Each structure stands twice: as structure tokens, then as C-alpha cells.
Structure 1
Amino acid sequence: MDEHLETLRAVEHELTALLRRGRAVSWEVAREVHQNLEPNAYGLLLWLRRCDSIRLTDLAGRLGIGKGTLSRQIRALEELGLVRRTPDPTDRRASQLSLTEEGRQRFDAARAARMDHIRRVLESWPDRDVAEFGRLLGQFNDAWS
């Protein structure tokens, strides 16, 4: 049991280091998208870019945050001209969220810089290790939720 506990402690240590670096990178990337963008907003923009269009309630569920909190964050992104709401054609009470053209362009530019950094960090890794790393991170994230 002690060996398993030490392994879990090592995972916690590395995860903490990753999260600390992630927060710092989120500040940088957020500023690249827009000078007034909150760091947590990058994750919202990432989901919106991936989904193209999504209902607020569905996005809140995927992110594991309350609709009220998400609504405030989306409102701030709308004010910056990065996100728009359009009526949901299947439910008049709901709306669809998507990136504006400006939001898409700014996000894509910031993401390209971030991807270049990730590419440089992982360039010495064998392709199979990079694929396994991505698979394990996905498995971890799925289990966490």
C-alpha cells in the first residue's frame, strides 16, 4: 500500500505543477485573445470553437459550472465582441452560443501560439508517447467529472 500511496503522491505533485503552469499560460493566452479577457474564458472559447454552436445549459453541463456563473462569463465575452447569442431554432426559450468572426480569429491566433509551444515541448517525444499522453489525459479528465 505504501508504494501505491507514493505513486499517488507523485501524481498529485505533477498534477499540481501542471495546473500551476496551466494557470500562468491561461493568463498569457487570454491576453493574446483580448486585453480585457479573464483567464478562465479561454476554456469557454475553446469549447465554443470546438462545438461551433451550443446552448448555454449544455455548455454549463460540459464544464461542470452553474448556468448563472456561465451566463455572467458569456455576457462579458459578448461585451468584448467575441461571442454572440442567437435564438435556438428548436426552442424559442433558449439561445445558441457561438464565436463571432472576431472571436474566432482572435482565438485561432492565440491557439496557434499555444500549439507551437506544446509542439516544442513534445517534439523530442516519440509519436506513440504523445498519443498515449493525450489518451491518458482524456481518461483522467473523463474520470474526474
Structure 2
Amino acid sequence: MRIVNRYNEIEKTPYNYGTDTRLHPSETHTIEFIGNNPNINVTKLAGLLGITKGAVSKRIQQLRKTGLVTKSVSPETENEVVLNLTDKGIQVYKAHAAYSKRLNRRIAALYADLPDEMIATLEEIGNETDKIFLEIATERKK
């Protein structure tokens, strides 16, 4: 349970990624998805993030206000709006990618010397735990 609580603490803590703007992880992940999908529209971004279009619009409004994201008419069709990163947004995108890479390396090092059977067991435990959390989340939405 400590790991879950620690992760929740991380998810609530803003970080600046070398800019003058402190961002919550949800905002950083939005920047990550926009950076990975240039000219993405709100509907597609909402689907990737697993949140509503309204929630994405609100988040984009904040990211535009802080100079991280642009919103413009699609080059392909005039009735669609697309999202892209500003130079400052690209700076956050790159810094977050480097941060994630370092973190993933550290975590991978924990498992590097474990036998394959133990890794398989840990993966199974993780998958089963995920199923339980999904059931709980689904029940709470009713």
C-alpha cells in the first residue's frame, strides 16, 4: 500500500521540467501525448488520455495560458482544431522524456538480475492487482 500512496503523492506534486511553470503530472502527460501526436484534435487526445473532451478542453486552456500549447485550425480541414506544442512546450516534452528514461532505467535495474520465473510471477501479480483496482474503480462509478 505504501507504493500506491507514494505514487499518488507523486501524481499530486507539480514539477517545472526546467521552465518557469510548475506542472502537475496530468498536464505533463497531456504535453507528452501532444508531442507524440502533432496536430492532434481534442477528441483523439481525450481518447488517448482516457478522459472527457470537456476535461481535455479545460486542461488545454490552462496549458495555452502558460504558453505550452497552441490551438489552431487544422491544415487538412477548416472545421477542426488541432493542438501542438510551443517551444516552451517542446522543452517540457524533451525534459519529461529524459526524466522518464532515467526513471525507467532505474526501475529496470531492480529487475535485471532476477530469474525469469520471478519476473513472470511479479508480472502476474501486477496484472491481477490491476484487475482488482479496475473492478473497484468500476464499482465506485456506479
- Range class of TM-score, shorter chain: 0.5 to 0.7
2:111 is paired with a residue of what secondary structure? Answer: coil
Within the alignment, does 1:66 sit opposite 2:52 as a pair?
yes
Write the distance in 2 (CA, Å) between the matches of 1:47 and 1:67. Answer: 15
* Range 68-77 or range 33-42, more displaced: 33-42
1:91 is paired with a residue of what secondary structure? Answer: coil
Residue number among 18, 24, 36 corresponding to 2:9 in the alignment: 24
Within the alignment, does 1:112 sit opposite 2:112 as a pair?
no
- Aligned pair count reads 123
Q: Where do 1:1-145 residues align within 5 Å?
A: 17-18=3-4, 20-28=5-13, 30-32=15-17, 34-126=20-112
Over the residues paired in the alignment, what is the CA RMSD in angstroms? 3.2
Write the distance in 2 (CA, Å) between the matches of 1:26 and 1:115. Answer: 17
Between the aligned residues of both structures, percent identity stands at 25
State the TM-score, normalizing by the size of structure 1: 0.65
Instruction: In structure 2, give the amino acid aligned to 1:30.
Output: Y
Offset at residue 80 of structure 1 (A): 0.8
Write the distance in 1 (CA, Å) between the matches of 2:86 and 2:32. Answer: 13
Offset at residue 34 of structure 1 (A): 4.9
| Cross-structure match for 2:140 | none
1:116 is paired with a residue of what secondary structure? Answer: helix
State the TM-score, normalizing by the size of structure 2: 0.66
Judged with a 3 Å threshold, the aligned counterparts in structure 2 of structure 1 residues 26 and 55 are, in CA distance, closer, same or farther, namely same
The structure in which a higher percent of residues are strand is 1
Offset at residue 70 of structure 1 (A): 0.9
Write the distance in 1 (CA, Å) between the matches of 2:96 and 2:48. Answer: 23
Unaligned residue ranges in structure 1 (runs of 5+): 1-12
Judged with a 3 Å threshold, the aligned counterparts in structure 2 of structure 1 residues 34 and 51 are, in CA distance, closer, same or farther, namely farther
Instruction: In structure 1, give the amino acid aligned to 2:43.
Output: T
| Cross-structure match for 1:9 | none
Write the distance in 1 (CA, Å) between the matches of 2:35 and 2:10. Answer: 19
The structure in which a higher percent of residues are helix is 1
Write the distance in 2 (CA, Å) between the matches of 1:53 and 1:30. Answer: 25
Write the distance in 2 (CA, Å) between the matches of 1:23 and 1:34. Answer: 24
Write the distance in 1 (CA, Å) between the matches of 2:93 and 2:9. Answer: 17
Q: Which runs of 4+ in 1 moved over 2 A?
A: 20-39, 124-129
Unaligned residue ranges in structure 2 (runs of 5+): 135-142
